[in-house]
Structure 1
Amino acid sequence: MRYLVETFAVGALRRGQGIEQFLGAVDAASRPGIRWVSIEAANRGYVVTLHAVEDVGGEHFCDLLEFPPLDPDDEFGLELAVTEDEVGAMAEAEARTGAVRDRWVNAGIAGDEYLD
């Protein structure tokens, strides 16, 4: 099973592991792009980041972290929120990006969603 139930997503974040969700295509004026949202534990809380990158992947290249950013100034993504708790971070991501509660995956797995 690829998707994390809420308790597993919360558990991953509490153990310091990130979660992410592939959001699909993004309209970019000059080149095709995709977006995904990630949540990571940090000293200051749980950080919600939106990533928008060029769609340069394919069947043999799906490591989204290696895709070049659509905006060179957002090399590491756009920080959307920092929360004190895991569920609050998921709620912020869902409210701000359209992410869906039952489609979170462990960090590094959103590339599989991209391939699908």
Structure 2
Amino acid sequence: MRFLEESFVLGALARGRAVEQFLGPAGDAEIRGVRWVEVVPNHAGFGVVLHTSADVGSEQFCDLVEFPPLALGDEEFGREIAEVRAAVDALAIAEARTGAVRDRWVNGGIARDEYRDFVRAGRPDHWPADAT
């Protein structure tokens, strides 16, 4: 089971571990990109970090953190969009501002598996493919 129940998401964050979520495609037909969001424990509580990168991966190369920014100087790559004290608030902000879904959070480093599924599905216009 890849996706975490909310209690496991909150537990991971309480232990100082990041959670993340692959959000799907970004950009346009000429410049393909992908987005993902992280909730990261930090000194002030929790940061919500949005990444938008070029979609340069494949089934064999799916480590999202290795992808370059979507465009040179792209402000969305690794941009902290919020910093809050409570983990539940960070999740709510991520969901409200990025389109993240409550039941699709994974442990840090696992969004690459969701990206691999995205590639296998033919890079659909919406992700998850059944959430049109």
TM-score (structure 1 length as normaliser): 0.94
Root mean square deviation of aligned Cα: 1.5
In the TM superposition, residue 71 of structure 1 has moved relative to its aligned partner by: 3.6
- Matching residue of 1:115: 116
Name the CA distance, whole Å, in 2 between partners of 1:70 and 1:43.
29
Q: For residues 73-92 of structure 1, what are the structure 2 equivalents within 5 Å?
A: 73=73, 74=75, 77-92=78-93
Q: For residues 1-12 of structure 1, what are the structure 2 equivalents within 5 Å?
A: 1-12=1-12
User: Which 4+ residue blocks in structure 1 deviate beyond 4 angstroms?
Assistant: none
In the TM superposition, residue 76 of structure 1 has moved relative to its aligned partner by: 5.1
Q: Cα 1:50–1:102, aligned 2, differ >3 Å: closer, same or farther?
A: same
How high is the sequence identity, in percent, across the aligned residues?
57
- Matching residue of 2:68: 68
Cα deviations across residues 34-60 of structure 1 (Å, max 9, x unaligned)? 000001000011000110000000011
- Matching residue of 2:33: 33
Name the CA distance, whole Å, in 2 between partners of 1:75 and 1:36.
10
State whether residues 20 and 108 of structure 2, in contact with CA within 8 Å, keep that contact through their aligned partners in structure 1: yes
Q: Cα 1:26–1:75, aligned 2, differ >3 Å: closer, same or farther?
A: closer
Which runs of no fewer than 5 residues in structure 2 stay unpaired?
Answer: 118-132
Name the CA distance, whole Å, in 2 between partners of 1:113 and 1:90.
19
TM-score (structure 2 length as normaliser): 0.83
Q: Pick which of 20-29 and 41-50 moved more.
A: 20-29
Name the CA distance, whole Å, in 2 between partners of 1:49 and 1:83.
12
In the TM superposition, residue 72 of structure 1 has moved relative to its aligned partner by: 3.5
Name the CA distance, whole Å, in 2 between partners of 1:45 and 1:28.
35
Which runs of no fewer than 5 residues in structure 1 stay unpaired?
Answer: none
- Matching residue of 1:95: 96
